[in-house]
Amino acid sequence: MRVSKSSSLLPGVQRGRLVKINVDGKPIDAYEGETIAAALLAAGIYHFHLSIKNKEPRSLFCGMGACMECMVTVNGAYNQRACVTQVADGMKIETCKDPEL
C-alpha cells in the first residue's frame, strides 16, 4: 500500500497526481513526478533486469543514471534507466527481459 499524502517531515513537498502504470501485465499505482524505480520499489518489485553474463537479477544501485543497473523496457523501448525516467499514466513497463534482446 502506497503512502498517499506528503510526509509531515517535508511539508513543502506535494505528491503528484495518482496514475496507473502497467508492470509485467499488472497495474500498479504511481505518482506523477516520481521515477519508474521509485514506483517499482514502492510496489515491492526489486528485480529490474537480468545481467548479461549470468542472467542474475539486477536492481537500483546508483540511483542517478550512471551505472545502468536499473534497465527496464518502457512502452517497447529496451534498456531505459528506471532511476531517471519519470512515470506517465498508462506506461507499460517490462522487467527482467532477456539482455540479449
User: For residue 76, what is its C-alpha cell?
Assistant: 517497447
Q: Which stretch binds ligand FES (CB under 6 A): 5-13, 16-24, 56-64, 72-80?
A: 56-64
Q: Of the candidates 68, 75, 89, 90, which one interacts with ligand FES according to CB under 6 A?
A: 68
State in angstroms the smallest separation of the CB of 60 from ligand FES.
5
Q: Which stretch binds ligand FES (CB under 6 A): 2-10, 14-22, 61-69, 72-80?
A: 61-69
* 25: amino acid identity, one letter: G
Question: Any contact of residue 67 with ligand FES (CB under 6 A)?
Answer: yes
